Amino acid sequence: MTEWSKINSYLHGKSDILILIHEKPDGDCLGSALALGLALESKGYNPEILMPNKMPEIYEFLPGQHLISIKPPYLLPHDVLIIAVDCADTKRFEYRLPKNSVGIINIDHHISNTSFGDYNLVDAEAAAAGEIIYKLLHESDIKITGDIATCLYTAISSDTGSFSYSNTTYQTLQIAAELLAKGADIDSIRYNIYEKKPLKDLLIIKKGLDNLYLSPEGQVAACTIGYGDLSKNDLLTADTDGLINILRSTEGVEVALLFKEVAPGQVKLSLRSKSFYNVNELAQEYEGGGHPRAAGCTIRGNLSDIVDEVLQKAEGALKGRGDNERSN
């Protein structure tokens, strides 16, 4: 039995379908949800992608925007099929799941996924949720149109750092090639996602590097930005992938950490590692999660106490490790 036929059995007899994505949606969850929505629509279903806030501007070019419903968080109805995409646990989306629902399908690629669905299609080997959606559609009788291909290519390219991170596999590249063959609009993706980033994404790199910390052995690089600095400079919504990637890309650095105080006393921590340290395990100590090389969590408390504690853990864990563990 294919994964598609299992999911198809949940779709049977339904019309409305709610698709859930995670807070601060990225290219993978948006591209995957839009591709899935367009595919379901082409089969006569009525999918709705729920978001509490408007679409981030850089993703407005993606096909399928008519499927987005901006609705404040609420308790979802029990009689509608729900499909969560790219969400490791139920805290990742802002809507509440009903009890005794007709079906909750969980499609994800995070190793920390809690299997919260009635049906869980979780593949931690997949570089992006978009890879899983591609395989599902490939198994089905649904045509992967140029629009669907554009959404899926965006999803996979986002979560692999344009096919450069260690999650990129032979299969990732094969799927990307197939998506190009099916009409993914790579010129539009390149321009909209990589060539017109908001200025604030650049300014947060400047702000973060003002406050760069490097551990004595040079294996941990960290930046801390307080709430005052973020709000004063209108940087609360800036994308920080660029900043944390600069930290990780530095010679000798194994772990990159970004501490962002997103509200007074509430710190969003982003973690990345280069070749051997499992940042997902550290994020899970704070009820977060993600992947071995990219994870995140939110920690409440005093910013400098949090920074001290996390640095101590990361530096302690890395002591004496490294030289023979690096895979490259």
Instruction: Name which position in 121, 270, 310, 314 contacts ligand 5GP (CB under 6 A).
Output: 270
Out of Mn ion, ligand 5GP, none, what residue 270 binds, judged by CB under 5 to 8 A for its kind, is: ligand 5GP
Residue 144 or 294 having the CB closest to ligand 5GP: 294
Does residue 314 touch ligand 5GP according to CB under 6 A? no
Determine the residue with CB nearest ligand 5GP: 296
What is the per-residue binding string for Mn ion in 196-225, x denoting contact by CB under 5 A? Answer: ------------------------------
Does residue 28 touch Mn ion according to CB under 5 A? yes
SS3 string of the chain? CCHHHHHHHHHCCCCEEEEECCCCCCHHHHHHHHHHHHHHHHCCCEEEEEECCCCCHHHCCCCCHHHEEECCCCECCCCCEEEEECCCCCCCCCCECCCCCCCEEEEECCCCCCCCCCEEEECCCCCCHHHHHHHHHHHCCCCCCHHHHHHHHHHHHHHCCCCCCCCCCHHHHHHHHHHHHCCCCHHHHHHHHHCCCCHHHHHHHHHHHCCEEECCCCCEEEEEECHHHHHHCCCCCCCCHHHHHHHHCCCCCCEEEEEEEEECCEEEEEEEECCCCCHHHHHHCCCCEECCCEEEEEEECCHHHHHHHHHHHHHHHHCCCCCCCCCC
Does residue 108 touch Mn ion according to CB under 5 A? no
Does residue 289 touch ligand 5GP according to CB under 6 A? yes
Out of Mn ion, ligand 5GP, none, what residue 28 binds, judged by CB under 5 to 8 A for its kind, is: Mn ion
Residue 50 or 87 having the CB closest to ligand 5GP: 87
Q: Which of residues 49-68 bind ligand 5GP (CB under 6 A)?
A: none
Q: How far is the CB of 274 from ligand 5GP (least distance, A)?
A: 15
Q: Which of residues 57-116 bind ligand 5GP (CB under 6 A)?
A: 88-89, 92, 112
Instruction: Name which position in 89, 131, 147, 159 contacts Mn ion (CB under 5 A).
Output: 159
Q: Which residues bind Mn ion (CB under 5 A)?
A: 28, 86, 129, 159
Q: Which residues bind ligand 5GP (CB under 6 A)?
A: 88-89, 92, 112, 270, 288-291, 294-298
